[in-house]
Amino acid sequence: MSVKRAAIGLFATVAGLLMLAAACQPEPTPTPIPTLAPPAATPAVASPTTAPATPTPVSPGPTTAAATPTVAPTPAPAVKTGTLELRVTDAPPEGVTKVVVTAGKIEAQRSGSEGETGWVTIVESPPTFDLVSVEGFEEVLGSNPLPEGSYGQVRLSINKVVVTVKGEDKEAEVPSDKLRVIGTIQVAANKTTAVTLDFDADQSVVLAGPRVQFKPVVKLLVEAPADKPSPLKRPKAGATLTVPLRQVGGSGQSGTATLTEYGRKTEVVIDVKAGPTGVRQPSHIHDTDCTLPPRVIYPLSNVVDGKATTLVNASLATLQSKKFAICVHKSPQEVTIYVSEGEIPQTASLAVQATITDYLFPSLTVSVGTTVTWTNQHVTHTFTAGQNGQWDGKGWNSPEVAPGKSFGFTFATKGTFSYTCRIHPSLNATVTVTESGTAPAMSEPTPTPSSGGGSSY
């Protein structure tokens, strides 16, 4: 409520009280009329006479008073808006390598509203996010201009949660498809308020035998409105790559995408010439260029006013390991129309094959970005990050690999990684990943293109 509206409201209230008070005054006592003697006879035609004024009894009721000035109605002020930016971060549970949440609409409710009133949309279609991948990070789910004022809670629709436990994907039971988080959020005109959904996945993921339940434990971390939101929480940055984005179809929306590596993740910052003000423009990383019917491999945040930031759960080496393209679409309603695109340059593929023919695992030294494929020509084994038959809870973990089958894994970061077999705990070896790498330290190495599956580490 504006100051003007508050003053008018107060004035109306006081006037009402005054009118109520006037109506409740005690009834006035009438003035008695004096008794007059009978008048003397007069001619038929009366002539004016002067007589004393006769007091008129006062009857209760409204009295005539000075006219009250009319107060002109105050026009409603124009609605001012500020931006609410929604982020997500997490502390992961032990033994769980992924908690992938597919969410629907994210909304905020005006303070003082009840039930289904007062809800406004923050993010219409947020990107799928992995609570494990945002450990130590903050990822932007989206932002939207909201009317200035106070908001009391955030509501998130949860469509699906897939939890990876010891290398196995399990769809979690979700007791409620609506997550409500209480907190006080202030949105100020022409300012940005950063709000972080801080999940505690260690408490949210419940392992009950073969069943997995997702009972989210989350709190709101709310910043004060500011001209610019605080920088996203990030660990030490690694390599950086700039991808030129060219305009498509005369859109004029050319610019760049800056890819910065943070361990096993990559931050993608899109900066192109702004499209229509406030319009959300979907963006993705596709598995082809943008001229072919593509598949979305990594969804990115919507581009709004030419800018978007997304933390992708893939290393920079992975994003350069095959043909990927960054594409920006015109709008959610015209998603088949591209306005900007650019291909991520590929690096030369690196592959090493290790053949297992005995109770002996080889130790390897490879370059960053190398895919190691273990081909099993022996009894059934697993190839598991860890030691003495125990998975370390964070690295790769193959299923049981039967004789004649293979398993592949891409090493995207430097370091020395131990691996073992869950079936034969005495089998232990290491993979050392360097910037340049050397020949594998194994008998009769056979560097051939990888044919196995797997992911990056």
Q: What is the pLDDT of residues 401-420, one digit of tens each?
A: 999 999 988 887 888 999 99
Within 10 angstroms of residue 72's Cβ, the number of other Cβ atoms is 6
Question: What pLDDT is attached to residue 312?
Answer: 86
CATH classification number, 81-222, choose in 1.10.110, 2.40.50, 2.60.40, 1.10.150: 2.60.40
> Can you tell me the distance from the alpha carbon of 140 to that of 197, in angstroms, rounded to the nearest whole number?
10
Q: How far apart are CA 354 and CA 371, in angstroms?
A: 11
Could you tell me the fold of the domain covering 350-434?
Answer: Immunoglobulin-like (2.60.40)
Contact 298, 209 (CB under 8 A): no
Please tell me if the domain spanning 81-222 has the same topology as the one spanning 350-434: yes
Instruction: Give the pLDDT score at 348.
Output: 66
Contact between 304 and 280 (Cβ < 8 Å): yes
Q: Kindly report, residue by residue over 48-81, the tens digit of the pLDDT.
A: 444 444 444 444 444 444 455 555 566 656 678 8
| Beta strands, E only, 248-346 | 255-262, 265-272, 280-286, 296-304, 307-312, 324-329, 338-344
Integer Cα distance of 183 and 195 in angstroms: 10
- Alpha-carbon torsion 438, 443, 444, 446, what sign? negative
pLDDT tens, 246-303? 999 999 999 999 999 887 788 999 999 998 888 989 999 998 767 666 788 888 888 9
Tell me what pLDDT residue 95 has. Answer: 66
Q: What is the pTM of this model?
A: 0.49
**Where are the domains positioned within the chain?**
81-222, 240-344, 350-434
Task: Tell me what the mean pLDDT of segment 335-358 comes to.
Answer: 86
SS3 217: coil
* CATH fold of the domain at 240-344: Immunoglobulin-like (2.60.40)
